[in-house]
Structure 1
């Protein structure tokens, strides 16, 4: 399975999530929480510790690769994101298809497909370009280092802001799985599924890089950018 890694950009650094990040995550999540109606974000120190412990347990089981999202300018932790649903396609075909772990040496394996999700940011970090650059770093690593064939994303079907943000990246909507699961509010929700394929990545990369360049231009208006979340 992929080993923990750090991805560094101009505005953001994605570093492997550890127990030491829990207090900073609790502080980041304690800001205005109105954007978290559809996003699982820990509230309070105990919840932040449990959040990190659960993420690290999933990492140990080979199910995800979680990050702390750090603002590069001052080293402040402003949220979290992760690679999830790591899937390996080597070896004999299995039926029915299902995600499976790597064959051979897990430390040397890289996934053939993965999901980018579990993303949330503190209120003051939203709309700053941090999320867009973080997605660029993750997608670039997945497609250009791991060589994945597919990256998936998903959102609560009711979360139109997150769905629009995913679509602005250039991801393709595959449809909505109706009555898919329960939402954070306890109601049964649909889930909108999106994907980017390896042959689509060069065009998607150009879209994201143009968005970042436009946001950095001195005359660019400061429009808030919504979160991408599962």
Structure 2
């Protein structure tokens, strides 16, 4: 399974998530929570402890690689994100297709496809360009270090702001799974699925690099 890594940019640093981030994450999540209607964000120390423990359990099981999102200017923790749905295509073909773990040594294996999800930012970090650069760092790691074939993203179909943020990254809408699951509000929701393929990466990298160099835009970028 992929080993934890630090991904460092100009405005943001993604650190491997650990228990020592709990208090800082809880503080970040305690700011204005009005943008979290469709996003699972822990509320309070106890909930954040469970959130981190669950993320680390997923990492130990080889299902995720979670990060704390840290602002470079002052070292403030401003949110979290992760690689998830790690999928390995080596070995015999299985049918029907389903995500599976690595074949061979799990400590040296890298995935063939992954998803970026579990992303949220504190209210003060939204609209600052941190989300854009964090996604650039993660996409670069996935496509250039792991050499994955695809990176997926998803959002509650009702979450127009997060969907717009994903689309501004250059991801392609694959479709909406109607009545796909229950949302945070208990209502049955559709899920919008997006992806970026390896052959699209160079154009996406150029686009995102230009956005990061130009600084945050007029419209806010929020968690995807």
TM-score by length of 1: 0.96
Q: Hey, what does 1:132 align to over in structure 2?
A: 132
Q: Hey, what does 2:223 align to over in structure 1?
A: 228
Q: Hey, what does 1:198 align to over in structure 2?
A: 198
| C-alpha distance after superposition, 1:118-171 (max 9, x if no partner) | 000000000000110000000000000100000000000000111111111110
Aligned mates of 1:102, 1:86 — CA distance in 2: 9
Match of 1:58, SS state, is helix
5 Å matches for 1:179-198?
A: 179-198=179-198
Shift of 1:225: 2.0
Q: Hey, what does 2:69 align to over in structure 1?
A: 69
Shift of 1:228: 3.2
Q: Hey, what does 2:26 align to over in structure 1?
A: 26
5 Å matches for 1:87-166?
A: 87-166=87-166
Aligned mates of 1:177, 1:84 — CA distance in 2: 19
Aligned mates of 1:69, 1:226 — CA distance in 2: 15
Shift of 1:214: 2.0
Segments of structure 1 that go 5 or more residues without pairing to the other structure are 217-221
| C-alpha distance after superposition, 1:61-86 (max 9, x if no partner) | 00000000000111110000000000
TM-score by length of 2: 0.98
Aligned mates of 1:120, 1:40 — CA distance in 2: 8
Kindly report structure 1 stretches of 4+ aligned residues shifted beyond 4 Å: none
Q: Hey, what does 2:48 align to over in structure 1?
A: 48
CA RMSD of aligned residues (A): 0.9
Q: Is the 8 A contact 2:128 2:221 kept in 1?
A: no
Shift of 1:224: 4.1
Match of 1:153, SS state, is strand
Segments of structure 2 that go 5 or more residues without pairing to the other structure are none
Match of 1:107, SS state, is coil
Aligned mates of 1:79, 1:215 — CA distance in 2: 19
Shift of 1:211: 1.2
Aligned mates of 1:92, 1:208 — CA distance in 2: 36
